[in-house]
Amino acid sequence: MLEVELKARVDDLGAVRERLHTMRAVFECAVTERDLYLNSPARDFAKTDEALRLREAGGHYTLTYKGSRKTGHPLKAREEIICGIESGETMEKILVALGFRPVAEVRKRREYYHVGDATVTLDSVEGLGEFVEIELDSHAGVPASYLIDLAASLGVTGKPIQDSYLELLEKSRKKG
């Protein structure tokens, strides 16, 4: 699956939440997500622009591979493969035995909303701040401009961010 999303920093998630209500967005759930990122023994994902992520969200676990970002795309677009797993702890043990190394953890509170052809998430990321992500539910015939227009309707006017939360955290640590 190709993931296409628009992500931007916001000052006030409350204002976006109000606009979502006005637009009759459907609230799905609010969860605390704990993401553990791992690096490969075979290549450096920071250089190849890949990512391997173990996520725990509301007692459910997933393993996700993200490919390198497509250059030339107006928004953030990358291959994404997600598999549900029974236990994050056991999968981490398998990955560590295979030579993968945990490199960073990202924790956030996330609210999921559905509006039109997109999923909108309101994120409070530990140590980073507040963000809105807008992702197309399907890519059939929906232009990237749809996301940009939707962002404007929600009052999300900040510059689209290509960096992942992991990269933003690493950059803020280096500045630290």
Q: Distance between CA atoms of 120 and 115, rounded to whole angstroms?
A: 7
| Cβ at position 153, least distance to a second copy in Å | 34
CA angle 7, 13, 15 (to 5 degrees): 115
Q: Is 37 a catalytic residue?
A: yes
Give the x/- contact pattern for a second copy in 44-83, rule: CB under 8 A.
------x-x----------xxx-x-----------x-xxx
Q: Distance between CA atoms of 130 and 122, rounded to whole angstroms?
A: 8
- b vs e for 2-14, b when ≥16 Cβ sit within 10 Å of the residue's Cβ? ebbbbbbbbeebe
| Cβ at position 51, least distance to a second copy in Å | 11
- How is residue 140 written in tokens? 């059939």
Which one is catalytic: 37, 61, 113, 165?
A: 37
Positions annotated as catalytic residues are 37
Interaction site with a second copy (CB under 8 A): 40-43, 50, 52, 63-65, 67, 79, 81-87, 90-91, 93-94, 97-99
